[in-house]
Amino acid sequence: MLRARDYRERARASLGNDWTGDKWVAFTLIALIYYLIEGGIASTSVIAIGALAGIAVEGPLQLGFAYISLDAVRGGRAEFENFFKGFKRFLPAFLLYLLNTLFIFLWSLLFIIPGIVMSYAYSMSYFILSDCPEMTASDARIVSVQMMRGNKWRLFCLMFSFIGWDILSVLTLGILQFWVMPYKQTALAAFYESIKGDFGRDAVSGSWEELSGVETEEK
């Protein structure tokens, strides 16, 4: 079974061990643009407009990150324009963000821990949506829940293994985060690739029907 270190190593190999390489630079610029968009929305003087704008763009941006990080893990290039590819599937990406946020909030009402657990359960949904153009937002969320059964602790360990980088990011006033985010996103994509094979979906593309044995009930 792969460990957190293995996913980090695959992420570095996918992006190139040289932090000044083409993939790192492209992904770093993408992270910078993401934070600029987030900052611009947060600084909007009309709170309601800013909130609505944030809800509208977050899903497509997260889907864009899924496209880029999966492309890197699969040996492709981190194409800058692919970051905005999520807007071509605006509606499912938008609905997925709404559904994930709503259900995490509802689970959080049972105390914080269930909400955190479900955030891990839904963590693969954007990767699934990027791989399955025909899949609905609801289906992507459900498949993520199924895929993450027995894997949530492993993902927690992977994310926790970045704690040192997160601390350094704080000490650099967030500047280092422009490099750490690509590292994290690509490690997360490597994690998805690993458990996707365990889940029985070895092909990169396919249809909902090919996900044999997938139930539609969350447990």
Q: Which candidate, 147, 167, 152, places its Cα nearest to that of 116?
A: 152
Q: 102 with 119: CB under 8 angstroms?
A: no
Q: Which candidate, 191, 93, 83, places its Cα nearest to that of 133?
A: 93
Q: Which candidate, 196, 190, 191, 192, places its Cα nearest to that of 214?
A: 196
Residue 52 predicted with pLDDT over 90: no
CA angle 77-79-81, nearest 5°? 165
In the chain, domain spans: 4-196
| Per-residue pLDDT reduced to its tens digit, 77-95 | 777 778 888 898 999 999 9
pLDDT band for 97, please (50, 70, 90 cuts). Answer: very high
CA angle 209-63-201, nearest 5°? 30
Long-range contacts: 162-171, Cβ < 8 Å, 24+? 162/187
Q: How many CA atoms lie within 13 A of 60 on its CB side?
A: 18
The predicted pLDDT at position 179 comes to 87
The predicted pLDDT at position 219 comes to 36
Q: 66 with 129: CB under 8 angstroms?
A: yes
Of residues 7 and 110, more confidence is placed in: 7
Of residues 38 and 116, more confidence is placed in: 116
Q: Which candidate, 192, 183, 165, 185, places its Cα nearest to that of 21?
A: 183
Q: 36 with 158: CB under 8 angstroms?
A: no
The predicted pLDDT at position 120 comes to 95
Euclidean distance between CA atoms 142 and 59, whole angstroms:
17
Euclidean distance between CA atoms 124 and 162, whole angstroms:
18
The predicted pLDDT at position 208 comes to 42
| Per-residue pLDDT reduced to its tens digit, 135-189 | 899 999 999 999 999 999 999 999 999 999 999 999 998 888 888 888 999 999 9
Tokens 């499912």 map to which residue?
92
The predicted pLDDT at position 200 comes to 56
Q: Which candidate, 86, 181, 162, 183, places its Cα nearest to that of 126?
A: 86
Largest pairwise CA distance in the chain = 49
With residues binned 3-state (H G I as helix, E B as strand, rest as coil), the percentages for the chain, rounded to 5, are: 75, 0, 25
Euclidean distance between CA atoms 125 and 147, whole angstroms:
10
